[in-house]
Structure 1
Amino acid sequence: MPKKVDANGYQIFEGGSGRKEGQKLKPYLVMQCLLKKTDESHVLAAEDIISYLQETCGIDAERRSIYRDIREINKAYLMLEEGIDIYAAEEMLENDKTRRLIIYDTIKKGFRVNTARRQFKLKEIRLLAECVYSAKFIEKREASRLVDIVVDSVSETQADTIRHEAYLTDRVKTNNEQVLDNLNSIDIAMSKTKNGKEHTPEKISFKYLKYTIQDINKPIERRNGERYIVSPYRLLISDGNYYLLGFDDDKQAMRTYRIDRMKDVKRIGAPREGAEAAKAIEISKYSQQCFSMFGGETTRVRVQFENELLDTMIDRFGKSGVQYAYVDAEHFEITAQIRVSDMFFSWVCGFGKRAKIVYPERIIDEFAAFLDGIKSIYKVDSNL
């Protein structure tokens, strides 16, 4: 049955009494308005809140009712936060005004959300947004959508500032819009429970992409579109990229795969293989040992560096599981377990004469051969 409303907009109840339409919604709308539009630099007077309710929500309000709503909001907030009843909340608010969610700013002459009572600090939200924007594996539009979710915890003005600051840096982003779907499928495949029931971790299949110089904007499928079959074990993040560490059916070995280069990930129902190979990998050191997530034989390697590179090495390797040693007044050396690959050699090359592999001899010889291979493509024909 439709509600009866009088000429002044009040709902008519039995007995002739009435009230304005939408009054039960008003406290919630007042709270949302203040959460979105106020912060330490921006306040709203009671008249501003009344205008918002009328113009945006179609709800009439009076100044006294706004004050009453704010008191009720503060009580409800404290009851939920502290797990106390209404009487204890009233007493606590009376004795300690800093516990209020909504406060009156006597300097700016208006109401605003108490910064200390927001769920997250502004710097925390800024950091989370920056992490989303800097993740190479998240497609640009998807990153914007996720950041919109993150900044929902601060005022609109603060949210706009965070978006603007984060976009100031040009970033390399994937064009693959399937990344989050891929992650969800992989997570389910690795899970030991599904829908509250026991689940046997299973293999996945997918197509793997690569770029070609013919069209760098459109990656193509490796192996002519043949699907990879992999037993997934761990998800890893390195240098802003997301990787799957899994046991490859074809190679019968542990391999890493870029999540943003995986296409059409499917669970195939077959139980995982490679449990022993996965167990042999110490995940906490895997990223430390690998360079750009390229595999290779794990070897204990000693490299000498100039002292000014010490901070760089600590950033790269950390402090645990790596030996740092004094050499002389100008040099130090590190000894670490390294998965030796061309990417490792390229990394060493990047430091020029400031870095030198000193052990073992076999790796020194391999590095020298690597350098000879580079030199060979720059040899000048004496007949020219």
Structure 2
Amino acid sequence: MSRNPMQKQKLLYLRRIMLEKTDENHGLTSSEILAELAAYGIQAERKSLYDDLQVLEKFGMDICKTKSSTVKYYVGSRDFELPELKLLVDAIQSSKFITEKKSFSLIHKLEGLASVYEGKELQRQVVISNRAKTMNERIYYLVDNIQNAIATDRKISFRYYRWELDYSGMEKIVKREKVKVGGYVASPWSLCWDDENYYLIAYDSSLNSIKHYRVDKMDKIRMLDEPRDGGKTFEKFDLAGYSKGVFSMFGGTKTNVRLSVDNDCVGVIADRFGKDIYVTKESDSTFSVSVDVMTSKQFYAWVFGLGGKVRIISPQNVVDEFKKQLENVNESF
């Protein structure tokens, strides 16, 4: 009698059963494991099952068993523990650059790294419908194109979009100033995830400056034959420092600004600029700090949103611009 060809796959199916059907709180008896194997068309004896479990253990699986009247076997630890998977689910859900469709797909794949019982806990955690998500389903391929250009030291060309309002609603259009010249050309150097969005940090040779672009607003990325520019500029480039100063990646003029801050906002300053900045005591209730920021409308909105607990001291042109922004808001009511 010829041997059942499924026997050659027994260890593979046993591994799947243990990973899918067991965890620290859910074990299987030897009889239950044999029944699970039989459902795949694999017949096995108890003795051979014990040997197979030992093989999996020697291979690196954490095969454990309960110490009670009924012996049950389960996988004790995995590459990702449940709290780690929950953390990844939260990150996917809160990421605006990941579309709703892709979010469900990624979370479903994460469920496969847990047992069916722990996977249900991840499902209960999924609440995406009310989150703001990008509508660009191609963002993952765009990121891959950018990373390939970085790895091969090539420039890229691309189209860049913005939203406009027409009578039928919002419409995504290509920025007009670049349409006639075939789109933007830049030297990609880094990708940055900031304020729940993905950004390309690149060098613009025409302006001799560092620029940033929202990846979900990019399209038609094409790798060029030209090598990247800006190597010397990026040799000492501090990506973390750049992100701290750019405030949600909106443009503006980089300026060293001195702020007067109430003591109870020290955590706000640390969260925004990091813990390595130098602070000076002003009084028993305030301190001052000098930081490099992009003096955009978003920066002024951030200061205003802190309700007077953060005040701009210098330079004077930034103080005057902030006052002007406040006057403009006041006149709109």
TM-score (norm 1): 0.78
Give 2:14's aligned residue. Answer: 30
Given candidates 291, 298, 309, the residue that maps to 2:247 is 291
Q: Distance in 1 between matches of 2:208 and 2:62?
A: 58
Give 2:151's aligned residue. Answer: 191
Give 2:106's aligned residue. Answer: 146
Q: Alignment length, in residue pairs?
A: 328
Which stretch has the larger CA shift, 38-47 or 128-137? 128-137
Work out whether residues 102 and 114 of structure 1, in 8 Å CA contact, stay in contact via their aligned partners in 2: yes
* Closer, same or farther: CA 303–206 of 1 in aligned 2, 3 Å: same
* Deviation (angstroms), 1:277: 4.4
Give 1:49's aligned residue. Answer: 33
Given candidates 23, 27, 41, the residue that maps to 1:39 is 23
Q: Distance in 2 between matches of 1:66 and 1:216?
A: 64
Q: Distance in 2 between matches of 1:370 and 1:218?
A: 28
Confirm or deny that 1:204 pairs with 2:156. Answer: yes
Give 1:68's aligned residue. Answer: 51
Give 2:263's aligned residue. Answer: 307
* Deviation (angstroms), 1:73: 1.8
The 5 Å alignment of 1:14-29 reads 19-29=3-13
Q: Distance in 2 between matches of 1:371 and 1:175?
A: 34
Give 2:76's aligned residue. Answer: 114
Give 1:365's aligned residue. Answer: 320
Give 2:175's aligned residue. Answer: 222
Given candidates 101, 108, 116, the residue that maps to 2:62 is 101
Question: What code does the residue aligned with 1:106 have?
Answer: K
Which stretch has the larger CA shift, 289-298 or 270-279? 270-279
Gaps of 5+ in 1: 1-5, 12-18, 78-99, 193-200, 379-384
Give 1:133's aligned residue. Answer: 93
Work out whether residues 100 and 128 of structure 2, in 8 Å CA contact, stay in contact via their aligned partners in 1: no
Tell me the alpha carbon deviations over residues 112-142 of structure 1, each in whole angstroms, 9 at most, x when there is no partner. 0122xx2222222222232222221111222
Which stretch has the larger CA shift, 68-77 or 248-257? 248-257
* Closer, same or farther: CA 223–149 of 1 in aligned 2, 3 Å: same
Determine helix, strand or coil for the equivalent of 1:103.
strand
* Deviation (angstroms), 1:350: 0.9
Aligned-pair identity (%): 30
Gaps of 5+ in 2: none
Confirm or deny that 1:328 pairs with 2:283. Answer: yes
Work out whether residues 323 and 336 of structure 1, in 8 Å CA contact, stay in contact via their aligned partners in 2: no
Work out whether residues 62 and 76 of structure 2, in 8 Å CA contact, stay in contact via their aligned partners in 1: yes
* Deviation (angstroms), 1:170: 3.5
Q: Distance in 2 between matches of 1:218 and 1:63?
A: 65
* Deviation (angstroms), 1:217: 6.2
Determine helix, strand or coil for the equivalent of 1:337.
strand
Question: What code does the residue aligned with 1:35 have?
Answer: L
Q: Distance in 2 between matches of 1:243 and 1:277?
A: 18
The 5 Å alignment of 1:341-356 reads 341-356=296-311
* Closer, same or farther: CA 281–68 of 1 in aligned 2, 3 Å: closer
Larger radius of gyration: 1
Work out whether residues 229 and 250 of structure 1, in 8 Å CA contact, stay in contact via their aligned partners in 2: no
Determine helix, strand or coil for the equivalent of 1:25.
helix
Give 2:133's aligned residue. Answer: 173
Q: State the Cα RMSD in Å.
A: 2.3
Determine helix, strand or coil for the equivalent of 1:153.
coil
Q: Distance in 1 between matches of 2:164 and 2:222?
A: 25
Higher relative contact order (CA 8 A, sep 6+): 2
Work out whether residues 21 and 59 of structure 1, in 8 Å CA contact, stay in contact via their aligned partners in 2: no
Work out whether residues 155 and 224 of structure 2, in 8 Å CA contact, stay in contact via their aligned partners in 1: yes
Work out whether residues 261 and 310 of structure 2, in 8 Å CA contact, stay in contact via their aligned partners in 1: yes
* Deviation (angstroms), 1:280: 6.3
Given candidates 210, 213, 235, the residue that maps to 1:254 is 210
Given candidates 116, 125, 129, the residue that maps to 1:156 is 116
Given candidates 204, 222, 234, the residue that maps to 1:266 is 222
Question: What code does the residue aligned with 1:208 have?
Answer: Y
Work out whether residues 301 and 336 of structure 1, in 8 Å CA contact, stay in contact via their aligned partners in 2: yes
* Deviation (angstroms), 1:237: 1.3
Q: Distance in 1 between matches of 2:236 and 2:6?
A: 63
* Deviation (angstroms), 1:332: 2.4
